[in-house]
Chain A
Amino acid sequence: MKADVVLAGVGGQGVLTVARLLAEAAAADGFHVVQGELHGMSQRGGAVQAHLRISDQPIESPQVPRGRAHLLVGLEPVETLRNIAWLAPGGRIVTAIRPVENVPDYPPIEQVLAALRRFPEAILIDAHELAVAAGSARAENLVIAGAAFSLLPLTRGKLRGIVRRRGERWTEAEREAAIQALAAGRAAIGGAAAVHD
């Protein structure tokens, strides 16, 4: 089994958190895991990318090679498109659709979404709306985490446990919203099959 995932978004959206959650869930399942990210600039609002490689064999390259990702996970539609070269032929896209328009020349959102829909394997999710419905607008990244998780060959329920543990200092309501957000993400995937070799 081998699953290569590239995650993208805008600084402050929680891309690295999603990458870490999925990495921990995979590690808890006993897989070899390599997760890489570029961070360091504290300022919010720049493009962010993370890599996650899961395998039952030892993993070589610390990054997913371009053209090899089974799954491209986006928290922002333009950032998803920016990383499209990482996606393998037939690979799947899971992306949130709400734009972060903090740049002057942001293209019309309909064009961005249309470009994404051109990929037959793309799943577009209104993660913001689902997060609000789950009880916290800030849980948009957890909706996407829940969706991405259900496309990986990992044990159901693992992610929930990890989020619970991480959220030890949260209020009961925050924890509940987080769990709901994960579930909403999972539901948004429908019956799509897991992606991996």
Chain B
Amino acid sequence: MTTTTHETAAPAAELMLGDDAVAFAALHAGIHNAYAYPGTPSTEIFARVIRETKDGGEVVAHWCANEKSAYEGAIGASLAGRRALVTMKHVGLNVAMDPFVNSALLGLGGGLVVAVADDPGMHSSQNEQDSRCLAEFARVPCLEPATPQEAYDMTREAFALSERCQVPVVLRLVTRLCHERARVRVRPAEPPKPLHKAGPRQDWVLLPANARRLFDGLLAEQPELRAASERSPYNRRTGGAGRRGVLTTGIGRRYLGEVLPEMREPPPHLHIATYPLPEALVRAFAADLDEVLVLEDGYPFVERSLRGLLPEACRVLGRESGALPASGELNVVNVRAALGLPALPLHEAAGLQLPARPPRLCDGCVHRDSYAAMLQVMQDTGIGAVTGDIGCYTLGALPPYQAIDSCVCMGASIGMAKGASDAGLRPAIAVIGDSTFLHSGIPPLVDAIAHDTDMTVLILDNETTAMTGGQPTELPDSRLLPVVLGLGADPAHVHVFQAHPRKVPELAALIRKEVAHPGLSLIVVRRECVQTASARRKHEG
């Protein structure tokens, strides 16, 4: 029988999100620094850290301009001997990839834990990349909790592991766990680590001579990391005898647990929660098996490793073999099918075509004005390229506006508009939010200014990071203009427009004028997000 950790929770324990559990665990592990950029489904971790620390105390918790900056802050904390938590969504780790991979080589002082929230099924993301692959790429340990209680326990453990092995540790979460509320029992807090500068300097300066030595050191550390994984109590062998085994990771274990009562006898079961993969454990588990079915959310990460690890005679089934869908989340339906259990009969809404109901821009949203004005302009100028970005305004791709041609990654709108314009596709208009601009829009704007590219940048300034729930942007909006001008944009073609639904024609006229300008122009369209505004009014009461 698989077990969940809920049964150990005291009845009085508080209901908390998986995200909350990570936050409390990091605080109880004595972090001194915490950094993040918001991103669903990781945002609530940091929101909790902020809420718990706002009334003073030692902990420094800052939202950052982007994940790279956040991660670098955490490395700096480790240099100072302090424990640090950094949180982000999976694609955020791409942004932080450079410091993340290199930090594995350093002689870390304070424990550094990066909590990364993957989004299998892409509920609110552009891809479903699997952070376990990136942890392996950087050759650092990765812990994968299956319940909010484990999220708490393993976060605490991750700090100790990071310090013991002097490597950053990835905590891999998934949407369902981040946003699952359950009872979590917490443990007494540890005191924070004292300020103590880590050294020696050769372990922190990645000049080639040092880096070669440190990389060899990281490679030499791998057996110890694997040994720690082999010993971990979170990897558990359960179930019965038989020749067809099931290997689970993360919440895959819980889907198996859900259907176990319906199976004639429980299959041999190994749960894996720590990486590098505990190979000896896996080999021992599979020794007498003809077949292993792997239930893992995300990429066929363990499944692929098994193919090189187990004797050919043992069949490996999973997302790559076709036993489970290659994309999307695990769920009880596809796990039942993979285990050969009959499908459950499902009700249908017979005879009625249900309309899709995607999220939409709020009534009164400033972006509605911007898109209405842009559509008016494009009636005359033709469409050219309108490159979009990541934020509420991405919804401008859907009816009724259908006003943007692309959405790729944070900040891509400006670089792509430049490329499209350079290639001759004009007018080229980049549409980017204020928070996204600060996150990743400034470097490509430097390029566009340097070449006075024939393009128009619209910074849609709603004075907040709206999509993830209204976190403050890193700079007050009054500073956007000085930033842009300071980079050298021509003041004659830089405007701030205070939007109002009645002023759409005026905004259209301004866009028309700047689109006609054969060089770089930039318009900040400003009005506060209606959700943030109403939350603020409620707060101010």
Contacts and interface: CB of A to CB of B under 8 A. Distances in A.
B220 interface: no
Interface in A49-87: 58-63, 65-68, 78-79, 81-82, 84-85, 87
Given A35-B15, A38-B179, A58-B6, A65 B352 contact: no
A70 to B, nearest CB: 13
B359 A33 contact: no
Contact of B4 (A59, A67, A106): A59
Contacts, number: 166
Contact of B7 (A58, A104, A115): A58
Given A32-B6, A33-B15, A67-B345, A103 B177 contact: no
A168 interface: no
A106 B353 CA distance: 9
B188 interface: no
B3 A58 contact: yes
Interface string B389-400: 000100100010
Q: Could you say which of A20, A37, A59 has the most chain B C-beta atoms within 10 Å of its C-beta? A: A59
B357 interface: yes
A65 B350 contact: no
Report, as a range, how many residues of chain B touch the other chain.
Answer: 35 or more
Contacts of B466: 42
Contacts of A119: 347
Given A42-B469, A47-B357, A81 B349 contact: yes
Given A33-B15, A65-B258, A58 B4 contact: yes
Nearest to A93: B347
A45 B123 CA distance: 16
Contacts of A46: 357-360
Contacts of A112: 352
Contacts of A37: 179, 181
Contact of A35 (B177, B181, B355): B181
A61 B254 contact: yes
Contacts of B167: none
Given A60-B257, A89-B345, A65 B333 contact: yes
B123 A38 contact: yes
By CB atoms of chain B within 10 A, which of A36, A41, A42 has the most? A42
Interface residues of A, number: 53
B467 interface: yes
Given A27-B15, A41-B467, A61-B332, A105 B355 contact: yes
* Chain A interface SS verdict (over half): loop
A116 B530 CA distance: 35
A10 B332 CA distance: 25
A107 B124 CA distance: 27
A102 B124 contact: no
Q: Of A35, A60, A79, which is in contact with the most chain B CB atoms at under 10 Å from its CB?
A: A60
A134 to B, nearest CB: 21
Looking at A41, A68, A104, which has the most chain B CB atoms within 10 Å of its CB? A41
B55 interface: no
Contacts of B333: 65-66
B179 A78 contact: no
A36 B358 CA distance: 20
A63 to B, nearest CB: 7
Nearest to B349: A81
A65 B353 contact: no
B123 to A, nearest CB: 5
B361 to A, nearest CB: 6
Contacts of A23: 15, 181
14 contacts: A20-B181, A32-B6, A33-B182, A42-B470, A43-B361, A43-B392, A59-B182, A60-B256, A61-B254, A65-B333, A103-B356, A107-B352, A107-B355, A115-B349
Interface of B: 2-4, 6-7, 11, 15, 40-41, 43, 123-124, 175-177, 179-183, 251, 254-258, 260, 331-333, 344-362, 365, 392, 395, 399, 466-470, 529, 531, 541
10 nearest A-B residue pairs (beta carbon):
A40-B40, A46-B359, A60-B257, A65-B332, A67-B344, A61-B258, A81-B349, A60-B258, A35-B181, A85-B346
Given A33-B181, A106-B355, 19 more contacts: A23-B15, A27-B15, A35-B15, A36-B176, A41-B124, A42-B466, A43-B359, A61-B254, A61-B332, A62-B177, A62-B180, A65-B333, A78-B354, A82-B354, A84-B348, A84-B349, A89-B347, A107-B353, A111-B352
